[in-house]
Structure 1
Amino acid sequence: MFRIFPAGKLFGDNRWAYYHQSIGGYTPIKMYVIEELVEKNIYKGPDKNLPINWNVLKILNVKYVVLQGRVQSPYLSLVNTNAAQNWLTYRFNGFLPRAFFVGEAKIVKNEFDRLKLINSANFDPAKTAIIEEEIRAGMEQPDSAWTRLTAFNPNLREFEVYTDKPALLVLSEVYYPPGWKIEIDGKPVKKIYKTDHAIQSVVVPQGRHTVVMRFEPDSYYSNIRLAWVSVGIIYLIIGSVFFQMFRSGKPQAG
């Protein structure tokens, strides 16, 4: 599972979302943290000839970059050429999976400072997570750890994970507590940390576990319950009307 990055003039074209998960495309409704991370920082890399911020690509699970024109970079490997459209597809060599473990967390509460650190060549999302508050549970740098995606649909992600020490599992899905709910081995996770400005993470105990993410917005289920209550009230009113009509039309004894 991965995302793609159509760069430059290709970024706003929604065709890339056809059968792919793209960090580009146009929508009039954008989450602020994603707009800040992607549209305002993705071209703040250190190389003036190819100023892509590779840290943003790592954070957002980007595996392929589509460019108009040939480039040279240690971060990119050419894998496909579309001569008719002048599109070149490159594999991003710094690709990080949708879920990965880190052993270090850095607390940065100020938004400007967070983005400044993400834009720094000294920061590596594969090793360090940027969070906004102190982690309540203990975490260490694992010597052995892996993750595997076992189920995926628009509202669910399921992972099998292993870590030989308690560690922070970074999940490359947008941080949205009213929507995303996370379970470890069937038990709800009480604390989800906003990570790397836009995504999320949870502390996972030592050992092998099943981590499940479900998108279950509280407002959606509240509206569903309200709708059922409203339907029930309507049926009660209709039933009451028919009952009164039946009583008024029934002949009186005697």
Structure 2
Amino acid sequence: VAALAVFAVIKQKIKPLYAIIAIGVFALIDVFGINTKYLNENNYQDAAEYENNFTPSPADLQILKDTSYYRVLNVSQGISAAFNGGALSSYFHKSIGGYHPAKLSIYQDLIERQLYKFPNCLPVLNMLNTKYIIVPDQQSGQPMVQQNPEALGAAWLVKSLQFKETPAAIMDELSSFNPSETAVLYQKDKSAIGAIQYDSTASIQLVKAENDQMSYASNASTNQFAVFSEVFYDAGWKAYVDDKETPIFQTNYVLRGIQVPAGKHTIQFRFEPASYSIGLKAAMGSSAIIWLLLLGATVGAIRKPKKA
């Protein structure tokens, strides 16, 4: 229809206005046809029916009474479904499970090499701050809650460091190590990490948790090494101790670790990807150029002398 309308205009058989109207009408017909195919009455739900999908179970309600910072693993449908099934647990809780086709490869490695061995992956569950596990009740089959008292929280200070050459060696170490006392890092980072002296009275705690910023407070009499139960991602996350940037070390294969100097300090992780910063500056520069060109064109049009 569009081709015929344009051809008719070229041949001066119809006016351009009629061609635009014809194209517009048939475009609307085409769009309405798609809409009625994919957005008909079968694609809508009543509000009450929709909300029923997000009704918390008794297990969810029990967990939600805890207002601290923790994570949940739902294995009520089996360990495979925990990472390849629905995402309802993530609607109510900070979950270590759920499915997404674009996972970070290091976390997918952890799922396949460690978490799929559940329940024989307690060290990993502890370092991921998995405080609650939803399991099926053996009698009723309904979801019930098991609390993991060894979950390590948002951050902790370790007594010693181990260094391994390869990712496989680090992954193997996760099967039997004690994450509350030991951190496992890459051998290549050893020279960049100074000596630590564990202080039993030292402390570190989460102060604020947001999507793009995490804040902690630390206090120790000697230099420490802190492990943070957040996924390592060096394409954007930066760490600061008292607003001074410090390197982040890939720790326990998937987590973050930094050196913490003696004394009282404020520690922050901020998501500041260079791509976003560069893109923002480019967008602002492009907008400024466009406005300047428009302004110049306007001024030029005003000043242009009228023909006699």
Evaluate the alpha carbon distance shift between residue 139 and residue 187 of structure 1 in structure 2; reply closer, same or farther with a 3 A threshold.
same
CA–CA distance in 2 between the matches of 1:38 and 1:144? 34
Equivalent residue in structure 2 for 1:188, among 245, 248, 273: 245
| C-alpha RMSD of matched pairs (Å) | 2.0
Query: Bigger shift: 3-12 or 157-166?
Result: 3-12
Does residue 14 of the first structure (1) align with residue 87 of the second (2)?
Answer: yes
CA–CA distance in 2 between the matches of 1:183 and 1:250?
63
For 1:130, which of 155, 170, 184 is the aligned residue? 184
Is contact 1:143–1:164 with CA below 8 Å preserved after alignment? no
**Structure number with higher relative contact order (C-alpha < 8 Å, ≥ 6 residues apart):** 1
Map of 1:93 onto structure 2:
149
Bigger radius of gyration among the two: 2
Query: Gaps (5+ residues) in structure 1?
Result: 45-49, 71-80
Listed as ranges, the gaps of 5+ residues in structure 2 are 1-68
5 Å-filtered alignment, 1:123-162, equals: 123-132=177-186, 133-134=189-190, 135-162=192-219
Asked whether the equivalents of residues 13 and 24 of structure 1 are also in contact (C-alpha less than 8 Å), the reply is: no
How many Å separate the matches in 1 of 2:119 and 2:88?
24
Between Structure 1 and Structure 2, how many residues are aligned? 232
One-letter amino acid of the counterpart of residue 171, structure 2: L
Residue matched to 1:2:
70
Q: Does 1:232 align with 2:288?
A: yes
Q: Which amino acid aligns with 2:128?
A: L
Indicate the SS of the match to 1:25: coil
Determine which of 52, 75, 100 is the counterpart of 2:120. 52
What is the aligned partner in structure 1 of residue 167 from structure 2? 111
Q: Provide TM-score, normalisation by structure 1.
A: 0.85
Give the 3-state SS of the residue equivalent to 2:290 in structure 1. helix
Give 1 or 2: higher helix fraction. 2
Matched residues, percent identical?
Answer: 27
List structure 1 runs of 4+ shifted beyond 6 angstroms.
none
How far residue 232 of structure 1 moved from its aligned partner, in angstroms, is: 0.8
- Say which is worse superposed, 180-189 or 29-38, in terms of deviation: 180-189
Residue 92 of structure 1: how far off its partner (Å): 0.8
